[in-house]
Amino acid sequence: MTDRISFLLNGAPRTVSGLAPTTTVLEYLRGAERACGTKEGCAEGDCGACTVVLGEPTGDGLRYRAINGCIAFLPQLDGKLLLTVEGLAEGNALHPVQDAMVECDGSQCGFCTPGFVMALFAFQQGGEPASDDAIHEALAGNLCRCTGYRPIVEAARRVAAVRDPGFELRAPSLRAGVAALPHDGDLAIEQGGGRFFAPTSLDRLLALRAAHPDAHLLAGGTDLALLVTKEYRALDIVIAVTQVPELARIVLDDKALTIGAAATYTDALPLLERFFPSLGLMIRRLGSRQIRNAGTIGGNIANASPIGDMPPGLIALGATVALRSAAGARELALEDFFLDYRKTALRPDEIVESVRIPLPAPDALFRTYKIAKRWDQDISAVCGAYRLTIADGRVTEARIAYGGMAATPKRAARTEQALIGRAWTEATVAQAIAALADDFAPLSDWRASADYRRKVAGNLLRRLWLESAQPTLTLGVMAL
């Protein structure tokens, strides 16, 4: 057990104590380190000006991923490498990503530039192709307010899939530096009125949960940190779930895919995309890559937002959620987990352990759609998800769920009944759309009016019908 946070900052070891555990990585860099290259634009994960790169041990190497420093707490660095824009150049020699930004005139204001450089560095280290899609995805979490994207994209093209011999030479010593960190066992920090625990075993996590039922559980922090950075709330006790190996597991068997509550979206994406392509496309629109590198499906479920992107699709797929406390485990159908607005069936001593998604039968029709004001980086106004089995032209099974239509993500029971046993025709779909009014009485808010939500919910079901009738519509953008 230790009360010190140990990490490498651009290769140099740091051991930090004496700071409140909810100090953000960005605050630490700009304050304690006076490393002011990393900027604060929004302090809520939207603009990317604070992008830094985490190097996390994997086997015998390090895996580099971009995150938002403004919504990461300092203890989340423990045992890892933190790279910032100050750490890329070697002496007077710029890193190839920085060179590309200079040569392509990618830096106009300079304020957003360090964030772009770090996002591009992670993109290059990931060995991704120079395709428009890959570049768009890598940069969607970085805003350029002067609209100078073209030269930045050009810089991305230059560095994509290009080897980085200078950094390859540094990599072994960075890996050795991380291995040499005094990073043993559980973190337990008490400082400035806040307590932070990061247990490394499931038993100790559950014991801490039982001892501190009012504590905030922390996974990626992409929701939780905003309580600190936007609402200026003090979090008295925080318990991180991310250091428990069992919770990071992703297990595929012949019946289901089970995703641990601490597995990030980025970790889960390859298998989700393989078995549930529509859910995979949805995840690619969830937040930005920085958000997906930290955020978890477990956090999306536990946070119980009525407009979270994952629950409707998971409910339609018949997912169950495993809950665990020191007293034992139980499993609930996901739709039964959500009780009321931001109210769940989770008991004070329980944690979300994992979500289990049954693999769909080969003939099942599954789609999940998101309607938001922007394509990237926006929360849904309405989310609709559908899993249908159609045999000999008739609907034999229907599971339908919506987000943004009620106080919780919710199944559309009457709409399902309007489909089951009927011919899968336009007329049946029209009747099912009419039945949506029996299932939902949506509210108006600043995202959308009640009328708009009603209309869109019906249109999404109609879209499912059109796509099933004309499979070519399911390609690319139309699948969303």
Ligand X SMILES: Cc1cc2nc3c(=O)[nH]c(=O)nc-3n(C[C@H](O)[C@H](O)[C@H](O)COP(=O)(O)OP(=O)(O)OC[C@H]3O[C@@H](n4cnc5c(N)ncnc54)[C@H](O)[C@@H]3O)c2cc1C
45 makes contact with ligand X (CB under 6 A) = yes
Indicate which single residue of 352, 398, 400, 456 sits in contact with ligand X (rule: CB under 6 A): 352
| Cβ contact 170:93 at 8 Å | no
| Cβ contact 114:85 at 8 Å | yes
Residue with structure tokens 């499979």?
Answer: 471
| Cβ contact 79:7 at 8 Å | yes
442 makes contact with ligand X (CB under 6 A) = no
DSSP three-state, residue 112: coil
Tell me which residue of 95, 93, 108, 111 sits closest to 47, measured CA to CA: 111
For residue 135, the minimal CB distance to ligand FES (Å) is 16
266 makes contact with ligand X (CB under 6 A) = no
DSSP output for 284-310: HTSS-HHHHHH-BHHHHHHTT-TT-SH
Residue number, 177 or 280, with CB nearest to ligand X: 280
Question: Which parts of 129-158 interact with ligand FES (CB under 6 A)?
Answer: 144-146, 148
For residue 361, the minimal CB distance to ligand X (Å) is 27
217 makes contact with ligand X (CB under 6 A) = yes
Indicate which single residue of 45, 177, 295, 384 sits in contact with ligand FES (rule: CB under 6 A): 45
What mask of x and - would describe binding to ligand X in positions 1 to 40, judged by CB under 6 A?
----------------------------------------
Q: Could you give the C-alpha distances from 131 to 158, 162, 260, 333, 419, in angstroms and in order?
A: 11, 13, 32, 40, 41
Residue number, 186 or 376, with CB nearest to ligand FES: 376
307 makes contact with ligand FES (CB under 6 A) = no
Using the contact rule CB under 6 A, the part of the chain among 52-60, 82-90, 296-304, 324-332 near ligand X is 296-304
Residue 276 contacts by C-beta under 8 Å, 6 or more apart in sequence?
313, 317, 357, 360, 366
* Residue 162 CA, distance from chain mean position: 27
Using the contact rule CB under 6 A, the part of the chain among 7-15, 41-49, 84-92, 360-368 near ligand FES is 41-49
DSSP output for 24-84: BHHHHHHTTS--TTS--SSSSSSS-TTEEEEEEEETTEEEEEEEEGGG-BGGGGTTSEEE-
- Strands 351-358 and 364-371 turn out to be unpaired
299 makes contact with ligand X (CB under 6 A) = yes
309 makes contact with ligand X (CB under 6 A) = yes
222 makes contact with ligand X (CB under 6 A) = yes
Given ligand X, ligand FES, none, residue 191, with its beta carbon under 5 to 8 Å by kind, binds: none
What mask of x and - would describe binding to ligand X in positions 88 to 127, judged by CB under 6 A?
----------------------------------------
Which single residue brings its beta carbon nearest to ligand X?
299
Q: Could you give the C-alpha distances from 132 to 105, 139, 157, 332, 411, in angstroms and in order?
A: 19, 11, 9, 41, 37
Phi then psi dihedrals of residue 279, to 5 deg = -70, -35
DSSP three-state, residue 265: helix
244 makes contact with ligand X (CB under 6 A) = no
37 makes contact with ligand FES (CB under 6 A) = no
219 makes contact with ligand X (CB under 6 A) = yes
For residue 203, the minimal CB distance to ligand X (Å) is 15
List interacting residues with ligand X (CB under 6 A): 44-46, 71, 216-224, 241, 261, 286-287, 291, 294-296, 298-300, 302-303, 308-309, 351-352, 377, 379
List interacting residues with ligand FES (CB under 6 A): 40-43, 45-50, 68, 70, 107-109, 111-112, 144-146, 148
